[in-house]
């Protein structure tokens, strides 16, 4: 005989993870239904906790001890337990065989139905689960298909689907205490390498990889030196992780004697991909991860990535996305050959960042000469102004008049006036 308990918070602002832990402390089979709702398999728990009412009381008390206010419903089906928890007060137990009767008055909105079926049932004038359960099944199948029949079975308290078991994510963390304080970087890296080997072994045994690492060095005097790194691709190789940790620690070494180390890995599911001979050449994930971390140490994390055009007309509105090695399947569907081939070559603009301030001489409102630290000379030809403005509805509006000009030495550049000063936005090249 299946018995299912539903734990429902009285408000949505409660700790869902804590609620899952409360459920897991009472039953080995727990389903995370989302939106704060948790189901647990209450079958066979009588010898441990007593009958359903005692179990429900115990669940409510355990949640209260964890700082959670919940309602508990126990029934033979998930929908019955949910209705009991939502429509009842505190603890509600539906006796075995009583699900259909208890659901009869519940609203149809308890079911998760598609939009067409919801509309159809509403047009039929159905408001409660009891009315849906009372319809002839054959006629319902003819009009609403398999989804209608499935909904009717749920409304009758029949729940053939087993619980989708939820498991807590294991903590991938290793620590070591250093009997003798470590004063130099090399032994610290060696200890971290040992921890990385253990972590990677555990990750590999579960078919996981890590897309983030955090370390804590406990220093003499009670201080701590913390850091984190995010590899370009999920890793399972201890050697690669060690290399990244070494680079990160070299860039920012601990300031003191290290007495203990902790290394944590953020697990992720590494998709298995079958490589093929026709896949494009791409950087090796291991080499790329090491290279990216060296580059980050060299130029800074905010100065490396894939260029991204921002959704703005503001001049030079560009950002940086994280650069990722392409997946082998990314090239699929791409038209063979280049759309660039045969196209007219495009004139490039070289940006000056930041824009170089310029002193511009005007004649009849048109620039005739300019002088700046980068360029200077007489302007022999020019067109403009091209006026643009935007974001006037924000606190940072912008306005710009742009001129394309040719200097006497042949240089083509873009001059800009932002309403208060002139500057050189870029040079055509």
Partner 1 sequence: MGIPIESSPPPGWEREGIDGLLGLFPPGRLSEIVGPRSSGASSLLLALIARITTSGTGGQVAFVDGMDALDPLSAAATGADLSALLWVRCGGRLRVALSAADLLARCPGFALVVLDLDDLGPIPGSACIRLQRAVEGTGATLIVRSERHREGSPASLVLAARRLAPQWMGLRPLTRLAGLRSEISISRSRLHSLSPLGRGSGEGLQGEGLQGEGLQGEGLQGEGPQGEGPQGEGSWTLDWTLSQ
Radius of gyration of the chain (CA): 33
Q: How far is the CA of 95 from the CAs of 46, 165, 204, 369, 377, in angstroms? A: 14, 24, 46, 92, 93
Is-contact 80 103, C-beta < 8 A?
Answer: yes
Residues in contact with 211: Cβ distance below 8 Å, sequence separation at least 6, in sequence order: 230, 231, 233, 234, 235, 266, 268
Q: How far is the CB of 400 from partner 1 (least distance, A)?
A: 15
Q: How far is the CB of 377 from partner 1 (least distance, A)?
A: 11
Q: How far is the CB of 252 from partner 1 (least distance, A)?
A: 18
Q: How many CB atoms lie within 10 A of CB 40?
A: 29
Question: Could you give the angle at the alpha carbon of 235 between the alpha carbons of 231 and 238, nearest 5°?
Answer: 110
Is-contact 21 70, C-beta < 8 A?
Answer: no
Report the interface residues with partner 1, using CB under 8 A.
280-284, 287-288, 291, 294-295, 298-299, 303-309, 316, 318, 320-321, 323, 325-326, 330-331, 334-353, 381-383, 404, 406, 410-413, 426-429
Residue closer to partner 1 by CB (options 63, 233) is: 233
List the one residue out of 299, 300, 321, 323 whose CA is nearest residue 309.
321
Residues in contact with 393: Cβ distance below 8 Å, sequence separation at least 6, in sequence order: none
Question: Could you give the angle at the alpha carbon of 115 between the alpha carbons of 113 and 118, nearest 5°?
Answer: 60
Residue closer to partner 1 by CB (options 62, 251) is: 251
Residue closer to partner 1 by CB (options 147, 279) is: 279
Is-contact 378 369, C-beta < 8 A?
Answer: yes
Q: How far is the CB of 249 from partner 1 (least distance, A)?
A: 19
Q: How far is the CB of 331 from partner 1 (least distance, A)?
A: 4
Residue closer to partner 1 by CB (options 160, 337) is: 337
Residue closer to partner 1 by CB (options 136, 337) is: 337
Q: How far is the CB of 317 from partner 1 (least distance, A)?
A: 9
List residues bridging with 362 in a β-sheet: 367
How long a stretch of residues is the chain?
Answer: 429
Q: How far is the CB of 416 from partner 1 (least distance, A)?
A: 14
**Could you write out the DSSP letters of every residue in 180-192?**
EEE-SHHHHHHHH
Residue closer to partner 1 by CB (options 216, 304) is: 304
Residue closer to partner 1 by CB (options 150, 301) is: 301
Q: How far is the CB of 330 from partner 1 (least distance, A)?
A: 7
List the one residue out of 429, 296, 282 whose CA is nearest residue 351.
429
Tokens 């006037």 found at: 392
Residues in contact with 333: Cβ distance below 8 Å, sequence separation at least 6, in sequence order: none
Residue closer to partner 1 by CB (options 155, 352) is: 352
């Amino acid at each position: 005989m299946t018995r299912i308990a539903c734990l429902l918070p009285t408000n949505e602002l409660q700790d869902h993870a804590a609620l899952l832990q409360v459920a897991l402390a009472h039953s080995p089979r727990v389903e995370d239904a989302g939106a704060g709702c948790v189901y647990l398999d209450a079958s066979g728990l009588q010898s441990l906790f007593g009958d359903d009412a005692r179990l429900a009381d115990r669940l409510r008390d355990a949640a209260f001890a964890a700082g959670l206010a919940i309602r508990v419903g126990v029934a033979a089906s998930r929908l019955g337990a949910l209705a009991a928890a939502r429509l009842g007060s505190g603890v509600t137990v539906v006796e075995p065989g009583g699900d259909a009767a208890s659901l009869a008055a519940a609203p149809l909105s308890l079911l998760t139905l598609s939009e067409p079926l919801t509309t159809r049932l509403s047009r039929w004038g159905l408001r409660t689960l009891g009315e849906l359960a009372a319809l002839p099944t054959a006629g319902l199948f003819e009009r609403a298909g398999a989804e209608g029949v499935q909904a009717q079975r749920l409304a009758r308290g029949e729940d053939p689907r087993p619980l989708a078991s939820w498991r807590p994510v294991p903590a991938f963390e290793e620590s070591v205490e250093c009997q003798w304080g470590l004063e130099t970087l090399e032994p610290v890296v060696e200890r971290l390498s040992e921890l990385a080997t253990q972590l990677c072994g555990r990750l590999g045994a579960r078919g996981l990889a890590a897309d983030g690492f955090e370390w804590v060095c406990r220093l003499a005097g009670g201080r701590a030196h913390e850091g984190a790194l995010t590899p370009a691709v999920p890793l399972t190789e201890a050697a690669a992780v060690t290399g990244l940790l070494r680079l990160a620690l070299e860039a920012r070494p601990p300031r003191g004697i290290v007495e203990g180390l902790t290394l944590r890995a953020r697990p992720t599911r590494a998709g298995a991909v079958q490589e093929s001979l026709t896949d494009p050449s791409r950087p090796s994930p291991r080499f790329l991860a090491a290279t990216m971390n060296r580059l980050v140490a060299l130029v800074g994390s905010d100065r490396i990535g894939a260029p991204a055009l921002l959704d703005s007309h503001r001049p030079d509105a560009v950002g940086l996305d994280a650069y990722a090695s392409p997946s082998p399947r990314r090239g699929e569907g791409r038209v063979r050959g280049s759309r660039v081939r045969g196209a007219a070559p495009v004139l490039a603009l070289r940006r000056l960042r930041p824009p170089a301030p310029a002193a511009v001489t005007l004649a009849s409102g048109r620039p005739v000469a300019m002088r700046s630290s980068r360029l200077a000379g007489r302007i022999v030809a020019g067109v403009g102004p091209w006026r643009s403005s935007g974001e006037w509805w924000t606190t940072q509006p912008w306005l710009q008049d742009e001129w394309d000009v040719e200097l006497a030495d042949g240089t083509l550049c873009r001059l800009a006036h932002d309403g208060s000063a002139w500057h050189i936005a870029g040079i055509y090249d």
